[in-house]
Amino acid sequence: MSKPDNVFQQTGKHIKTGNLTFLTTQVAQWQRLTKMVQPLLPQPEQWQVVCYQNGSLIITGENQAMISQLSYLQNQYVSKLSQLEGLKDLQRIQVRLRNKNIPNPPSSEPSKPIPPETQEMLRSAADFVSDPKLSQALLRLASNKKIMNFIFYEKFSYIFVTYITF
C-alpha cells in the first residue's frame, strides 16, 4: 500500500520566504476540500474545512443543530467522504462551532466637537512630555475637530490617551 500524499506537511523548502508559499498552498487545499465536502454534509449549513491531517478532518459550522447532527452521524459521513479523492485515509471528523461574523453596527451617536479647554490641555500636555511621538500624537488629537470618545490617564508624568470607539 502506498503512503498517501500529505500536502499539509511542511517540507522545509520555503525557509527564505517565511513559509508563505507553504501556508498559501495549505489554505488553497482547505478551500478545495471545503468545496468538495460542502454538498455532502448536512444542509443548509456553510461548512468550512480548517484542517485535514493524519486521517482527521476538522470542520466548522455556525449552526449548533447541524453540528450535533453531523457529530451524531459521523460514521456515515466518514464512509461517504472517504470515497472522495484526497480524503481516502479519512478516519474521523471533528466538528467545531464557528462564531458568526456579525459586523459592528455603525455608531448612532454623532461625534461631538472637542471643547476648546480640552484642546488647550492636549497642547500643553504635548509641550510637557519628552517623547516626540507622543507629543505629535497629542497635537494631532488637539487639532481634530470632533471628539472620539477618549479617556485620559495620568501616570508617572506621562499622559496616556486611550481611544475607545463605540
Q: What is the pLDDT of residues 89-108, one digit of tens each?
A: 889 999 999 887 766 666 66
Do 140 and 92 share a structural domain?
A: no
- Do the beta carbons of residue 108 and residue 74 sit within 8 Å? no
Range of the domain at 125: 116-163
- The confidence score (pLDDT) of residue 149 equals 46
Q: How far apart are CA 60 and CA 90, in angstroms?
A: 17
- The confidence score (pLDDT) of residue 17 equals 58
Provide the number of structural domains found in the chain.
Answer: 2
Q: Is 164 helix (H, G, I), strand (E, B) or coil?
A: coil
Q: Is residue 9 part of a domain?
A: no
Q: Is residue 10 part of a domain?
A: no
Domain boundary among 49, 69, 97: 97
Do 122 and 83 share a structural domain?
A: no
> Which residue is associated with the grid cell 492636549?
122
Do 90 and 28 share a structural domain?
A: yes
Do 87 and 25 share a structural domain?
A: yes
Model confidence at 159: pLDDT above 60: no
52 closest CA partner among 17, 76, 84, 21: 84
pTM for the whole structure: 0.50
Q: Is 92 helix (H, G, I), strand (E, B) or coil?
A: strand
Q: Is residue 67 part of a domain?
A: yes
Q: Is residue 13 part of a domain?
A: no
- The confidence score (pLDDT) of residue 106 equals 63
Q: Is residue 105 part of a domain?
A: no
Do 28 and 92 share a structural domain?
A: yes
- The confidence score (pLDDT) of residue 8 equals 53
